[in-house]
C-alpha cells in the first residue's frame, strides 16, 4: 500500500535534505486518520510504505510493546524518524565507523548516546548512522514515521556485546519489500 499525505515536497529535481525528511515525518505524524489506519499486531511490527518527498522512501511503522530493530545502519542513505504515538527509545553511536571492509570493531568508551522520543519528537541522521530503536513499553504500542534518501540500498545489521560491534547481515530492498 502506498500512501501520500498532503505535503509540500522539495523543489522538483532537488534532493531532500535531512530537514526535509524530518519535516515530512512531522507532517505525516500529525495526520490522525493515517496514523489510525495502521493495522497493529500484538506481537510483531507492522508497516505501510508511504510516498516520501523528492523520491525518498518512507514508512509508517507500528511497534508492539517490547519490540525493536536491533543494531543497524541505513548505509548511504540519510534519514529521519518521528514518533507519532507512544514513546520510542533510540540508542546510537557518536562515532563515525568505517563504511565497509570490517566484520568486528571494538568501540571506544563514551560513544553511546540514548534518546527517548515521545509522540511529536523525532530526529534526523546522516549516512552510516548506527542505531537501534525500540518500544520499551510493556503495555502500549508506539507508531512512527520514517523517511530515507536515497531509497534504502541496503541495511547492515549488527550484534553488540559490550564494546564489540559485529557485522552480522546485509539486507537488500528485496528482503523487506
- pLDDT per residue over 106-129, tens digit each? 999 999 999 999 999 999 999 989
Query: What pLDDT, on the 0 to 100 scale, is given for residue 2?
Result: 41
Give the DSSP H/E element, type plus range, for residue 114: strand 112-118
Edge-to-edge strand ranges of the sheet holding 142-149:
2-3, 46-51, 57-63, 142-149, 78-85, 122-125
Query: Whole-prediction pTM value?
Result: 0.89
Domain spans of the chain?
Answer: 13-175
Query: What pLDDT, on the 0 to 100 scale, is given for residue 108?
Result: 92
Q: Which residues of the chain, if any, have pLDDT below 50?
A: 1-8
CATH number of 13-175: 2.60.120.10
Task: Give CA–CA dist 153/170, Å, rounded.
Answer: 10
Query: What pLDDT, on the 0 to 100 scale, is given for residue 168?
Result: 95
Give the DSSP H/E element, type plus range, for residue 37: helix 32-37
Amino acid at each position: 500500500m502506498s500512501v501520500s499525505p498532503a505535503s509540500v515536497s522539495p523543489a522538483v529535481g532537488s534532493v531532500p535534505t535531512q530537514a526535509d525528511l524530518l519535516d515530512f515525518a512531522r507532517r505525516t505524524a500529525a495526520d490522525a486518520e493515517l496514523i489510525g489506519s495502521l493495522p497493529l499486531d500484538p506481537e510483531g511490527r507492522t508497516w505501510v510504505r508511504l510516498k516520501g518527498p523528492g523520491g525518498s522512501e518512507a514508512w509508517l511503522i507500528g511497534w508492539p510493546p517490547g519490540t525493536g530493530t536491533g543494531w543497524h545502519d541505513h548505509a548511504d542513505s540519510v534519514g529521519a524518524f518521528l514518533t507519532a504515538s507512544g514513546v520510542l527509545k533510540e540508542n546510537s553511536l557518536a562515532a563515525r565507523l568505517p563504511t565497509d571492509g570490517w566484520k568486528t570493531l571494538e568501540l571506544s568508551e563514551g560513544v553511546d548516546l540514548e534518546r527517548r522520543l515521545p509522540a511529536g519528537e523525532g530526529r534526523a541522521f546522516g549516512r552510516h548512522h548506527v542505531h537501534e530503536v525500540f518500544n520499551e513499553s510493556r503495555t502500549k504500542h508506539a507508531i512512527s514515521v520514517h523517511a530515507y534518501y536515497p531509497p534504502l540500498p541496503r541495511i547492515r545489521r549488527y550484534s553488540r556485546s559490550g564494546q564489540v560491534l559485529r557485522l552480522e547481515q546485509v539486507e537488500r530492498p528485496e528482503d523487506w519489500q
